[in-house]
Structure 1
């Protein structure tokens, strides 16, 4: 019992830090409302809204963020070894079998993700299938299945929204959507007057466009002149006010948000690293071979040259759920400890160093050998 409590304390302690950061932000909001002469308890409303928003975000994730667009489905006939390993692990852990997809990269890696409205999916790189033997591949896949069992995607979404005041970004986001909506309506009027104005704002899915059904409904000439002049004045006012007032205020607000949310981001990243260690521990318990997972991590962390035109933007978005972090553009991606790695690098990392993970697994292997 004591060993179970001791092993779960790092994750619980990280959650307590996230809760403390969220409580601190709530207190700050209460103080702001009190200073403005409003009821202090209004400061609790954003926190309550963020709880609901975290769940809503699960359903409103833009489809473009899904990594499936850069991957191919792996059928049982395409990789029987891979499917046999996953079938065995799912039988041992009593969980449903996820969809398996492959992306084209030499670097060995794997990541779990549940696209909106789709089943749980495990993405594996071509290099993972080519470079790891059966036992190592089993250990890596057990790690990814542990992420699914722990529902880490949902957990990390809630932690990020609660611990970093992410709800504060909805205010400028709603203003931008409102400005874009007005701009599109003015462009619609211009199109019906015979002038092809293009919207200047972006929406959640990219550049806003004038709906096609408006293009075939022109105004009479006498009405077009009467509509175009006030529409042009309104659009000019919209752009001037946006450039002079809104965008400078947005920049200042974003800088303030980055500064205020920094402590929360640090504790959320700590939670992400602890969840990664928890997935390592669960994979080692499922396979009964901590040393195999340690060997797989060591091999996967070795530097591998990447093709320069490789596009992994969709996978970079879900890097916290990968067994190793995806390298930043222009980086070699070597996860071995370096003398230049300081406190700042460790704080902003989404994964513990491989050396730390291997050390945890070696101690776990030693405990198992004594029992």
Structure 2
């Protein structure tokens, strides 16, 4: 983690290192299995895996921002938003990220970028309309905490394995297996084996990233509360955002749900309430942590 005034979180660091190690190990095993199954096509396997990693790591921030409709804004276009980010970056002693606004009534915010220098912080128009200045400051401090702790880059790498598993399954079924059909009597076994292996890899990587994602949200809440010294403002923003989410049309929530892992608060739906699969910890747990921090700081 680059030096900033955000409170260090050894728990987050330990979890990120452990997750990276386990996913890296899973990645090596998965590629090894593919190379064993497709000995003749190993250059294509390595080229495809490497190419996907480069695209995912170097361009995921642009892809995510574009997919969520983020439009970069200048200080002249959004003076209050920029002023808040400027103040927080000075307080945290960190480089200022690019600032963007997404034109949607879903009240949320997110951060992307593989490093502090490449980061982008975005707030939606729905969020800007609903929050008071102190509440908005808490939300943006939460997102900047993600940037300061580099967990956006870690989550990008962690999610790569799931993308790779799905792509490799399609590549195997559409390419390598069909070419082996005339020569290899085990083709039918490969048709069953490869999707099963890919599904297992995807599930394991998904669960690992979800476990990390829930903890990193608690860590970002803690970092924001300690940096601003106003945990109650962040708690108020959390309560307001999650409460207003119920008033958003279902269609808009479904469109946003795919990006839950990036968001300040998830776009709740019937399919995202399971604690095992959720990208964020329960609201009650987040509010409980903020209340505890408030007591420790001696704030009302």
Number of aligned pairs? 279
Aligned with 2:71: secondary structure? strand
How far apart are 1:160 and its partner, in Å?
Answer: 3.3
How far apart are 1:156 and its partner, in Å?
Answer: 1.0
Give the corresponding residue for 1:227: none
Give the corresponding residue for 2:260: 319
Give the corresponding residue for 2:168: 171
Aligned with 2:110: secondary structure? strand
Structure 2: runs of 5 or more not aligned = 1-6, 40-44
Conserved in 1, the CA contact under 8 Å of 2:102 and 2:122? yes
Aligned with 1:347: secondary structure? coil
Give the corresponding residue for 1:12: 14
Aligned with 2:122: secondary structure? strand
Please tell me the root mean square deviation across aligned C-alpha atoms, in Å: 4.4
Conserved in 2, the CA contact under 8 Å of 1:18 and 1:264? no
How far apart are 1:325 and its partner, in Å?
Answer: 1.5
* Distance (Å, rounded) in 2 between the aligned partners of 1:81 and 1:107: 20
* Distance (Å, rounded) in 1 between the aligned partners of 2:12 and 2:140: 23
Give the corresponding residue for 2:275: 346
How far apart are 1:132 and its partner, in Å?
Answer: 0.7
* Distance (Å, rounded) in 2 between the aligned partners of 1:93 and 1:133: 21
- The answer to whether the aligner puts 1:364 opposite 2:284 as a matched pair is no
Aligned with 1:346: secondary structure? coil
Looking at CA atoms only, which structure, 1 or 2, has the larger radius of gyration? Answer: 1
Question: Are residues 157 and 324 of structure 1, via their aligned partners in 2, closer, same or farther at CA, if it must alter by over 3 Å?
Answer: same
Give the corresponding residue for 2:83: 84
* Distance (Å, rounded) in 1 between the aligned partners of 2:118 and 2:223: 22
Question: Are residues 109 and 250 of structure 1, via their aligned partners in 2, closer, same or farther at CA, if it must alter by over 3 Å?
Answer: farther
Aligned with 2:100: secondary structure? strand
Question: 1:297 pairs with 235, 238, 242, which one?
Answer: 238
Cα deviations by residue, 1:165-197 (Å, 9 ceiling, x for unpaired): 764445345457869xxxxxxxxxxxxxxxxxx
Question: Are residues 68 and 16 of structure 1, via their aligned partners in 2, closer, same or farther at CA, if it must alter by over 3 Å?
Answer: closer
* Distance (Å, rounded) in 1 between the aligned partners of 2:154 and 2:88: 23
Runs of 4+ in 1 over 6 A off after TM superposition: 27-34, 49-53, 245-248
What does residue range 270-309 of structure 1 map to in structure 2 within 5 Å?
270-302=211-243, 303-307=245-249
Question: Are residues 250 and 136 of structure 1, via their aligned partners in 2, closer, same or farther at CA, if it must alter by over 3 Å?
Answer: farther
How far apart are 1:358 and its partner, in Å?
Answer: 0.9
Give the corresponding residue for 1:94: 93
Aligned with 2:101: secondary structure? strand
Question: 1:257 pairs with 178, 186, 198, which one?
Answer: 198
How far apart are 1:258 and its partner, in Å?
Answer: 2.0
How far apart are 1:71 and its partner, in Å?
Answer: 3.6
Conserved in 2, the CA contact under 8 Å of 1:54 and 1:157? no
How far apart are 1:72 and its partner, in Å?
Answer: 3.4
How far apart are 1:153 and its partner, in Å?
Answer: 2.1
Cα deviations by residue, 1:173-228 (Å, 9 ceiling, x for unpaired): 5457869xxxxxxxxxxxxxxxxxxxxxxxxxxxxxxxxxxxxxxxxxxxxxxxxx
Conserved in 2, the CA contact under 8 Å of 1:103 and 1:126? yes
Cα deviations by residue, 1:297-322 (Å, 9 ceiling, x for unpaired): 11111044224664985x65543121
Q: Tell which deviates more after alignment, 257-266 or 64-73.
A: 64-73
Conserved in 1, the CA contact under 8 Å of 2:113 and 2:153? no
What does residue range 1-371 of structure 1 map to in structure 2 within 5 Å?
8-9=10-11, 12-13=14-15, 15-16=17-18, 19-20=21-22, 23=25, 54=53, 57-59=56-58, 61=60, 65-67=64-66, 70-114=69-113, 119-161=118-160, 167-175=164-172, 253-302=194-243, 303-307=245-249, 310=252, 313=255, 316-328=257-269, 345-369=274-298
Structure 1: runs of 5 or more not aligned = 39-45, 180-236, 334-340
How far apart are 1:105 and its partner, in Å?
Answer: 2.5
